[in-house]
Amino acid sequence: MSLLKSNTFISAHDVTDINALADKALHYKANPFIDKQLGENKRIGCLFLNPSMRTRLSTQIAAQNLGMEAIVFNVGSEGWQLEFEEDAIMNGKTVEHIKDAAPIFGKYFDILAIRTFPSLVNKEDDYSELYINQFIKYSGLPVVSLESATLHPLQSLTDVVTIKETYTPFNEGKRPKVVLTWAPHVKPLPQCVANSFAQWMNAWNEVDFVVTHPKDYELDKQFTGNAPIIYDQNEALKDADYVYVKNWSTYNDYGKIYNSDPEWMLTPEKLQLTNNAKVMHCLPVRRNVELSGAVLDGPNSIVTQEAGNRVWAAQAVLSELLQLQ
């Protein structure tokens, strides 16, 4: 039975059994090439409307491990600007309409993996996932999100995998306390990683999940759900088993920076409050702004292991999509 509800992977809600999908990723970690026949003569197009390092490399590697050809295309720098407005009179800067470009990808590829991005200006467009939904609609292909305007599901599946892999008391029926904490940054960033992590923690439902951030940094309720929101970071960190550090810009008054208080940076002192918590971050991380170098270089950080797991999460998802075909 498929672990995906359909042939798209853009949110936790596309997964029928998160635990089983994470187990599949760990199975590939132990046996990277076991399904190398599965993708024979299949081709994945990896389209980037925004730069990427880990996501690009891990997806390309996951595809190769499954025997697929992976073709990377940086739409902006290698191609041209796409138009997404339905009835645009295209006499400006956009060179090709998504309605014309996407069906071509449908002819060239078996699976489409795509990174779009939020404007951080037009909340309605961003939160309706205007871009990636048009790729899904017009390409007619299985689509994997490599981060969209509001979510980053391969990152979040990776995070589930990494928590499963490192929290041994799961065997005794215990639930770790997992804290998502806001961190300072120098630029207004998307809410994607935070939204997505919250969505997956809630959907997975194997951890006690808590969110902490400064006032007015509330995330969209559809993702945080019933998770306690605590404005006092120190209180939230108490007894945490995992601290997931991430900056995001404001959601309500959309795309703003209200706070750059360095007190919110995760330091070794703050880690003392936790239950010797493991520290996670999706990377890239601004050292000594979001997280102190001492934490990143210390024994609690599992960010490298986490980033390494990106390959196996992607491989599990691609494998499922290949089996649907």
In the annotated binding site for carbamoyl phosphate, the residues are 52-55, 80, 115, 152-155, 282-283, 310
Q: Which of 222, 304, 323, 325 binds a copy of itself (CB under 8 A)?
A: 304
Does the protein bind a copy of itself through residue 272 (CB under 8 A)? no
Does the protein bind a copy of itself through residue 307 (CB under 8 A)? yes
Instruction: Cite the annotated binding site for N(2)-succinyl-L-ornithine by residue number.
Output: 147, 185, 246, 286
Give the CA count within 13 Å in the CB-facing half-sphere of 24: 20
Amino acid making up residue 75: V
Q: Interaction with a copy of itself in 89-118: which residues (CB under 8 A)?
A: 89-92, 95-97, 99-101, 103-104, 106-108
Annotate 136-157 with b (16+ C-beta within 10 A) or e (fewer).
Answer: bebbebbbbbbbbbbbbbbbbb
Three-state SS at 9: strand
Does the protein bind a copy of itself through residue 190 (CB under 8 A)? no
Calpha distance 13→139 (Å, rounded): 21
Q: Which of 66, 136, 144, 311 binds a copy of itself (CB under 8 A)?
A: 311
Does the protein bind a copy of itself through residue 287 (CB under 8 A)? yes
Give the CA count within 13 Å in the CB-facing half-sphere of 33: 0
Single out the segment in contact with a copy of itself by CB under 8 A; choices: 192-200, 222-230, 251-259, 305-313. 305-313
Three-state SS at 318: helix
Q: Which of 2, 5, 34, 51 binds a copy of itself (CB under 8 A)?
A: 51
Q: Are strands 69-74 and 43-48 parallel, antiparallel or unpaired?
A: parallel
Q: Interaction with a copy of itself in 70-89: which residues (CB under 8 A)?
A: 71, 73-74, 77-80, 83, 87-89
Q: How far apart are CB 256 and a copy of itself at their closest, in Å?
A: 18
Say how many Å lie between the first and final Cα of the chain, rounded: 13
Instruction: Write the DSSP string, 17-86.
Output: -HHHHHHHHHHHHH-TTTTTTTTTT-EEEEEESS--SHHHHHHHHHHHHTT-EEEEEEHHHHS-PEE--T
Name which of 139 and 148 has its Cβ closer to a copy of itself.
Answer: 139
Calpha distance 36→68 (Å, rounded): 8
Single out the segment in contact with a copy of itself by CB under 8 A; choices: 68-76, 144-152, 227-235, 236-244. 68-76
Does the protein bind a copy of itself through residue 268 (CB under 8 A)? no
List of residues contacting a copy of itself (CB under 8 A): 32-33, 41, 43, 45, 51-54, 56-58, 60-61, 64, 69, 71, 73-74, 77-80, 83, 87-92, 95-97, 99-101, 103-104, 106-108, 186, 283-289, 293, 296-297, 303-304, 307-308, 311
